[in-house]
Chains A and B, each alone.
Chain A
Amino acid sequence: MPRLRRMSLLNVENLKMHFPVRGGILMRALKTCKAVDGVSISVSEGETLGLVGESGCGKTTLGKAIVRLYQPTDGKLQFEGQDITRVSQRALRPIRRDIQMIFQDPAESLNPRLTVRDILEEPFLIQKQGTTAERRQWVGELLDKVGLASTAADRFPFEFSGGQRQRIGIARAIALKPKLIVCDEPVSALDVSVQSQVLNLMLDLQREMGLSYLFIAHGLSVVKHMSDRVAVMYLGKIVELAPSEELYHNPRHAYTKALLDAIPVPDPSKRRPRRLLSGDVPSPIDPPKGCAFGHRMKHPKWEQSVGMDLKLEEISPGHWVQKCPCCVD
């Protein structure tokens, strides 16, 4: 595939998303939670960028900032060349059709008082598309695509299992045939067979419509399968980014290595003692100085990283890694 000639669809530059942490009797902002702290990534047309990282490192926040559910604190968001960092909600409406999100917790995004039909028709109604009969048909087709029976349309979200709800969220995200979907753990609640069906569907849509994905997931073999490139995030920052095969075969950052090392193996005869990461998970509220991972691992050379500009450095074509003194060999 002519990867180099692809047009960049989404450009994220030095994005920051900080939340005030309130406390005390007056609930004043006492501290800041630096959930996303200077992330630069891009996604090209028809490309899938995988995003992995420690729980709480800022993946969902980054995704929500990209679909502009949050107003970024700082940095720049560009979609199809247009700066959307500070665009008003009204001006965002046409863009909303092109950028969709599949949410990590379906309970957060599916209105419990609406039937599945209402939920799936809503995007068409907002965009004023189709007649009643057409919309009915589209809802049926969407349900079929995600492996749900058409009878599901007249039931409420709470009447479904976790994985069925997740698929309703997927059906809604693909309804308007967007250009970019931010997928936050899109298949985590699915058994491996249904997971394969959904992932095959996502790959088909990509091939047919040139769709792009930002694919956030904890299942590392799934991320590798789906992604052209993978970014590894740690405490609000990208620490490594590379083509997926390269990242899995030649990880350079110590955290990436720890991740790959901890993948559970689906073979009881290969059971091994789990190697646990030592140290305390760092907090975005009081982030350590210098490199967060080195600080956590009490790396002997961590102190050298304090005060250093820990920028990403391209060590081989397309393989970027945080420039740091110790844990990158």
Chain B
Amino acid sequence: MSAAENILEVKDLVTVFDTDAGRVTAVDGVRFEVKRGKTLGLVGESGCGKSVTAFSINRLLPQPHGKIAGGSISFEGRNLAGLSVEELRQFRGREISMIFQEPMTALNPVQTVGKQLAEAILLHQKCSSREILQRSVELLTKVRIPSPEVRLQEYPHQLSGGMRQRVMIAMALVHKPKLLIADEPTTALDVTVQAQILDLINSLQTEMGMSVLLITHDLGVIAETCDEVVVMYAGRVVERAPVAEIFSSPRHAYTQGLLQSIPKIESVPKSRLKAIPGSVPAIETLLPGCRFAERSGRPHLPEHLNQRPPFIEISPQHWVEQCPVCVA
């Protein structure tokens, strides 16, 4: 795979947090590439490190306790770790921009929506206040927020959950970034508005070749929008493959369990839903070996728990991290 084809390359990324209880490793040797103009989906168990991966790429880890302890992230061939503060400022919004999982943590609660949008616009552009107003109204209209002029004067708490999410989407798209990192961008949207937002993102992709790293729990959205999928579990990538292949022939025990847990519209109401038994081990107690072993229901040897399984390409572009004996 040539570098020019990939807009983003994440190699063996390790991200740690220093907490009162000691150091925890949230991302443990993650690697993937985002191809130019394509959408890469990132899925995985709640708490497996998806958002931390996104924050690491964007250099937005909470300071001082979060830090990248290993690996490299390169964007269009440039090492992101080497960027100065000023270069980063230039970078954000125009080259890479991000939609955050929790709008309330990303929006400023004491500033009006209009003020925050204006700031986002002025980051890379000189505009008169009339132009700003016009741009802002246009942006809110694009993300389907009604009465945009009124909304600009309101504060985040006066908006509905989905409107806050859409304000953030509007802010992320202001400067038509080359790479959009979208962390659960549509969780607060009903399916009709969701379809419109995904369509908006899609049109930016065809129009300007924007690439997207899409983090979502909605496997329906993954199936409908992604080209490739990366599956994470407890800080690591356990499987990656083109979207059709992930759904048709998942290989890792976790991916299989995940796909079997998709709620079905035909299910018997109030019956027990399928779930993978057990839960992820606490982050402080993660083992070096396969972290899904206990929950997999598959036979494995003690040495599998002490040694990280190899990440192998089992068919073209289909990679799995598993022991040689791990078969369904």
Which residue numbers of A lie inside 8 Å of B, CB to CB? 19, 21-23, 31, 52-56, 58-61, 104-108, 147-149, 151-152, 154-155, 158-165, 167, 184-185, 188-197, 199-200, 203, 218-222, 224-228, 244-245, 248, 258-259, 262-271, 274-277, 280-283, 285-286
Contacts and interface: CB of A to CB of B under 8 A. Distances in A.
A262 B147 contact: no
Contacts of A164: 46-47
A283 B276 CA distance: 42
A105 B103 contact: yes
Most B CB within 10 A of own CB, among A225, A264, A281: A264
A106 B50 CA distance: 18
B275 A259 contact: no
B219 A189 contact: no
B44 interface: yes
Contacts of A228: 269
B111 interface: no
Interface in B79-108: 101-105
B267 interface: yes
B238 to A, nearest CB: 13
Contact of A158 (B62, B153, B282): B62
B269 A227 contact: yes
B207 interface: no
Nearest to B44: A191
B62 A268 contact: no
A19 B163 contact: no
A268 B39 CA distance: 14
B161 A191 contact: no
Contact of B224 (A197, A224, A271): A271
Given A159-B19, A185-B188, A274 B262 contact: no
B223 A55 contact: no
B47 A161 contact: yes
B45 A194 contact: yes
B192 A258 contact: yes
B265 A193 contact: no
Contact of B273 (A53, A199, A248, A258): A199
B243 interface: yes
Rank and list the top 4 A-B pairs by shortest CB-CB distance, nearest first: A55-B162, A163-B46, A264-B220, A149-B282
A155 to B, nearest CB: 7
Interface residues on B, range: 35 or more
B191 A220 contact: yes
B21 A188 contact: no
A266 B51 contact: no
A52 B196 contact: no
Contacts of A154: 20-21
B150 interface: yes
Interface of B: 17, 19-21, 43-48, 50-52, 62, 101-105, 144-147, 150, 153-154, 158-164, 166, 184, 187-196, 198-199, 217-224, 243-244, 247-248, 257-258, 261-265, 267, 269-276, 279, 281-282, 284-285
9 contacts: A55-B162, A155-B20, A161-B51, A184-B161, A191-B258, A193-B257, A263-B220, A281-B144, A285-B147
Nearest to B275: A196
A195 B261 CA distance: 9
A108 B51 contact: no
Given A191-B43, A194-B45, A263 B191 contact: yes
B103 A259 contact: no
A255 to B, nearest CB: 8
Nearest to A55: B162
Contacts of B223: 264-268, 270-271
Contacts of B21: 151, 154-155
Contacts of A263: 191, 220, 265
A274 B199 contact: yes
Given A189-B217, A190-B217, A222-B263, A266 B190 contact: no
- Most A CB contacts (10 A, CB to CB) among B21, B48, B150, B154 go to B150
Contacts of B275: 193-194, 196-197, 200
A199 B44 CA distance: 18
B192 A219 contact: no
A228 B270 CA distance: 9
A23 B150 contact: yes
Given A151-B282, A264-B221, A277-B195, 20 more contacts: A149-B281, A149-B282, A160-B47, A189-B184, A190-B217, A192-B258, A193-B276, A196-B261, A196-B275, A197-B279, A218-B194, A224-B265, A225-B270, A225-B273, A226-B270, A262-B192, A266-B219, A271-B224, A283-B150, A286-B147
Contacts of B282: 149, 151-152
Contacts of A285: 146-147, 150
Contacts of A61: 160
Given A55-B189, A200-B273, A263-B191, A225 B267 contact: yes
Contacts of A200: 272-273, 275
Contact of A262 (B104, B194, B217, B281): B194
B192 A21 contact: no
Contact of A277 (B62, B196, B285): B196
Nearest to B162: A55
